Structure formats: structure tokens, C-alpha cells
Amino acid sequence: MIDTTVDVINKLGLHARASGKLIEVTTKFNSNIQIGKGEKLIDAKNIMALLMLGAGKGTTLRLVVDGPDEEQALSEVQALFAAKFYEAD
């Protein structure tokens, strides 16, 4: 199990389009992927739960990945956040 954090650095935060891109990444993996603030974690494969997080720019989110492909899942999720969800600034 991997328990780490990711920072929301894109201008609009974890809005609908960014959440959709995150879902595209997380649903490719067999691992259980959870994201949230502190102890409140949600399923990172659930679009409605992601939208309800209300994670704006500057938010630090806890990311917990557990499963057979956890390392690859973590790498791709971190890359997506680092690339600002491929949005123009």
C-alpha cells in the first residue's frame, strides 16, 4: 500500500474536466485508489465523489493506492496532477 499526497496546481482545481481525466487514468488499474482530504477518503474511480471533494488550486490531497499495479497507478496519477491535467494556463 502506498500512502502519499498530491498537490492540485492547475488553475481551476479538480473541476469536471479534470475529474474526468483522472477517472480515465484510475479506471485503467485494478488497484484500489482513494483520494481525499486528511482522513476523509473517497473512491478515485467515482466521478461524483471526486466532484464533491471541492479541491481547488492549492489543495493538498491524500492519495492511497493499494493493489497489484499500485506503483504504475501512482506514477500515472502523479504525472496527471504534475501536468495540470493537460489544461492551458
pLDDT digits (tens, 9 = 90+) for 22-44: 999 999 999 999 999 988 999 99
Query: Please, what are the domains in the chain?
Result: 2-86 (3.30.1340.10)
The residues that are catalytic are: 15
Cell of 88: 492551458
What pLDDT is stored for residue 89 in this prediction? 66
Q: What is the pLDDT along the chain (89 residues), one digit of tens a residue?
A: 999 999 999 999 999 999 999 999 999 999 999 999 988 999 999 999 999 998 999 999 999 999 999 999 999 999 999 999 999 76
Predicted model pTM: 0.94
**Hunting for cell 474511480 — which residue is that?**
45
Query: Residue 6 contacts by C-beta under 8 Å, 6 or more apart in sequence?
Result: 35, 60, 61, 63, 77, 78, 81
Cell of 80: 496527471
